[in-house]
Amino acid sequence: MTRYIRAFVFVLLAMVALPATAQDPFFDIDGLNGGLGERPDAMDLRTPRSTLESFLVAADEGRWDDAAHALDLSDLDDAAQAGEGPILAAQLHSVIERKAVLDWSSLNDRPDGLQPLGGQSQATAGDPRRSFLIRELDLDPVPGAIRLNRVKPGEDADPVWVFPRETVADIPAMYRAYGPSAFESKLPAILLAQGPASLMWWEWIGLPLLVVIAGVLGWFTARLFAWIRTSSDNGMVRGVTHALKWPAVIAAVTTLVAVVSRQLFVFSGQIDTVLSPLIAIGYVTATLMVVIGVLDAVLDNLVSPGDDIDLTVAEQQEARSTATKINATRRILTILVFLIGAGIVLSTADVFRGVGLSILASASALTIILGFAARRVLGNIIASLQIAMNQSARVGDRIMYKGELCYVERIQMTYVQLRNWDSTRLIVPVEEFISEPFENWSIEDPSMLRILKFKLRPAIDLDAVRDAFVDVAREVSEDEDHAEFFGDFDSVKMDVTGQDVFGIDVWFYVPCTDPNNSWAVSCAVRERLIGRLADMEGDGDARIFPDPAAAEAA
């Protein structure tokens, strides 16, 4: 009994689902092109591929009357179809030749248009088709679509594939936007003839000429901005002009190509498929470079540790934090502008409609490729934001990194630029920088104690050594070159911190007000203290400095 119930439920579900998924394999129309007469045998409209092939062959041979049979001219009166049909066919052929790179693999040679192969990525696989989209073109106010539809012109007629009335209605607008320009129409007939690779002869001549002219324009633009930069004495103007140089070159070349390809000439689909994305990429790249370059130039002029503003001095404590936050904001803006620009390129240029790029269009493939290629870059960018947010190292801070005394000069997207004490630059990837411990001498309180570590004999007179150190510290604190940077004198002291077979460890504490000058102060104290201890050793019988054997010293 249960088996019969299950069978009944299955049949019931199938009957309910069938009307929702069933689709007529054609569109019913009252009639087709009654004003054109009988369709010639050369126009095979049984399948989508044969229709497009017949249309293109007739167009190449100049048989526009025959080509008109591939268009659904139902919106025209029968009397007007014979006159306007060939004209519309010629205009449609021109638009297809210039703007549609045909993917013949999607137009199968079956009357029902069924694609027998495919999986979940092809929702129409295994189902009859009654419409194919060849290309969608931008028109005002809504896009125009070049389609092939399967229609049945009457109960007794066989279904055929034609360009539908919606496409035919858009042909004049598409031809005005994407057909030959007025300048091209005046070219000699020999230049309009088809040459190698299905390109017209004027394209073989005009494209290299366009490249040469674009190169000359780019060179003149670069020279112009270089002249403006060298002619100005203002640092801000020089920086901004330098930042605008290459964006201006890219924008000028891109504008030239856009004007020529859209106003003077309309290139064929093979060229336009590459040219349109390049124009979009050119404009977006120029915009990105302007935003990033000009912002960098302005910020560098305001907060860069150069001749105008020295962020390394103690008085610039607040300025260092501000500069670091501004740099973090710059990086965030850079990422946002890049993401917005990438979205504009992908949407405007229509990159993924190109033949052969269907694999890359899948989100999983793009994620894997981009993630693998950019994993280190993205890691460094996130690490640089981490430094900027937690303020562990600010622009202008004095740090001790891997035994090197450095200033943090720049915190870039992927690296940290450190200026060493001898003015050499140390470039460290951000990920490596944050993974290594370092001493920041400039955080919170800029004052610090410099410790001079000496190894002395155990038998020395420690009180005499302490008195000598206090005298030396007083001399340095009163010296005009170091008095400003010597700290609280009450912090001057000496401690014995350890001993071994070589002697005792004696530490001398030197207070400093500014980490940027503490090195010079401590060096001055060290130099005078060594001289004072050497004098004490020469005046008395007791040795002060240990005298280890060569092997022990090594």
Per the structure, the complete domain to which residue 217 belongs is given by 201-439
Question: Going by DSSP bridges, is the β-strand pair 503-512/493-500 parallel, antiparallel, or unpaired?
Answer: antiparallel
- 9 domain residue, yes or no: no
Residues 383 and 487 in one domain: no
The reply to whether 362 falls in a domain is: yes
Alpha-carbon distance 153 to 31, whole Å? 4
Beta-carbon contacts of 355 under 8 Å, excluding residues fewer than 6 positions away, are 101, 103
Find the Cα–Cα–Cα–Cα dihedral 449, 450, 455, 456, rounded to 10°: -60
* pLDDT higher at 185 or 77: 77
Residues 209 and 113 in one domain: no
CA distance 254 to 301: 30
Q: Would you state the pLDDT for residue 138? A: 79
Q: Which residue has the higher pLDDT, 466 or 422?
A: 466
CB 257 within 8 Å of CB 279: yes
Shared-domain flag, residues 263 and 383: yes
Distance CA 241, CA 316 (A): 29
Does 423 map to a domain? yes
- The vertex-198 CA angle with 192 and 201, nearest 5°, equals 35
- pLDDT attached to residue 88: 92
Q: Can you give the pLDDT at residue 507?
A: 92
The whole-number pLDDT of residue 506 equals 92
Pair 210, 265: CB distance under 8 Å: no
Q: For residues 245 and 350, which has the higher predicted lDDT (pLDDT)?
A: 245
Residue 434 or residue 18, greater confidence: 434
Residue at a domain's end among 417, 439, 461? 439
pLDDT in tens, 466-513: 999 999 999 888 888 888 888 888 888 899 988 888 889 999 998 888
- The count of domains in the chain is 3
Provide the pLDDT for residue 305: 44
Same structural domain, 403 and 514: no
Predicted pLDDT at 228: 86
Both 419 and 335 in one domain: the answer is yes
Q: Is residue 521 domain-resident?
A: yes
- Report the alpha-carbon distance of residue 70 to residue 35 in Å, rounded: 13
Whether 296 and 425 share a structural domain: yes
pLDDT at 22 over 50: no
Q: Are 182 and 176 in contact (CB under 8 A)?
A: no
- What is the structure's pLDDT at 31? 83
H/E run at residue 494: strand 493-500
Binned at pLDDT 50, 70 and 90, residue 362 comes out as very low
Q: What is the 3-state secondary structure (H, E, C) of 73-108?
A: CCCCCHHHHHHHHHHHHHHHHHHHHHHCCCCHHHCC
363 vs 432, residue with greater confidence:
432
Q: Is residue 320's pLDDT more than 80?
A: no
The C-alpha angle 218, 224, 226, rounded to 5 degrees, equals: 105
Are 98 and 241 within one domain?
Answer: no
Query: Are the C-beta atoms of residues 27 and 149 closer than 8 Å to each other?
Result: yes
Q: What is the DSSP string of 133-198?
A: EEEEE--SSS-EEEEEEEEEESSSSPPEEEB-HHHHHHHHHHHHHHS--HHHHTS-HHHHSB-GGG
- CATH number for the domain spanning 480: value is 3.30.70.100
Does residue 314 sit in helix, strand or coil? helix
Q: Does the reported pTM lie above 0.85?
A: no
For tokens 């106003």, the residue is 263
Residue 184 lies in a domain: no
Is residue 12 in some structural domain?
A: no
C-alpha distances (whole Å) from 527 to each of 48, 471, 476, 483, 531 are 94, 13, 11, 16, 6
Position 27 scores a pLDDT of: 86
pLDDT higher than threshold 90 for residue 302: no
Q: Which amino acid is residue 105, in one-letter code?
A: S
Answer with the one of 115, 145, 179 that is the final residue of a domain: 179
As a whole number of angstroms, the distance between CA 395 and CA 408 comes to 5
Q: How confident is the model at residue 163 (pLDDT cuts 50, 70, 90)?
A: very high
- For residues 321 and 423, membership in a common domain is answered with yes
Same domain, 290 and 159: no
Distance, in Å, from the CA atom of 331 to the CA atom of 388, rounded to the nearest integer, reads: 10
Q: Identify whether residues 73 and 157 lie together within a single domain.
A: yes
CA angle, corner 407, sides to 403 and 408, nearest 5? Answer: 110
Among 83-97, 293-307, 400-414, 460-474, name the one with the lowest average pLDDT: 293-307
What pLDDT was estimated at residue 71? 92
In a domain, 92, yes or no: yes
Q: Out of 439, 457, 480, pick the residue that ends a domain.
A: 439
- In the beta sheet, which residues pair with residue 133? 147
pLDDT, residue 324, reads 66
Residue entry with tokens 């029902």: 112
Least confident of 106-115, 284-293, 323-332: 323-332
Q: How confident is the model at residue 3 (pLDDT cuts 50, 70, 90)?
A: low
456 and 493 in contact (C-beta within 8 Å)? no
Cα-based distances in Å from 361 to 64, 101, 134, 343, 371:
38, 17, 18, 14, 15
Does 285 share its domain with 413? yes
pLDDT tens string 195-223: 676 676 777 877 888 888 888 988 999 89
Q: Do 116 and 225 fall within a single domain?
A: no
User: 479: which DSSP letter?
Assistant: S
In a domain, 3, yes or no: no
Burial 274-300, CB ≥16 within 10 A → b, else e: ebbbebbbbbbbbbbbbbbbbbbbbbb
**What is d(CA 470, CA 476) in angstroms, rounded to the nearest whole number?**
10
